[in-house]
Amino acid sequence: MAEGRNVLVRDTQNRRLGHLTFENAEWTGLLTALKASAR
């Protein structure tokens, strides 16, 4: 589960491009969906 208000995601190969910001609930929902689809 994500902690805090927002989750910041960036491409570590292209750090100069900045980051994407997701709300905690959005990020948790994405991870839950990915885990469910992997089963």
Q: What are 1-39's pLDDT values in tens digits?
A: 556 789 999 999 998 999 999 999 999 999 999 999 998
What residues contact residue 20 under an 8 Å CB cut-off, 6+ apart? 8, 9, 10
User: What span, in angstroms and rounded, lies between the C-alpha atoms of 30 and 24?
Assistant: 10
Tokens for 23, please give them.
């709300």
User: What span, in angstroms and rounded, lies between the C-alpha atoms of 27 and 6?
Assistant: 9
Alpha-carbon distance values, 4 to 10, 16, 20, 21, 37 (Å): 17, 24, 15, 12, 26
pTM: 0.66
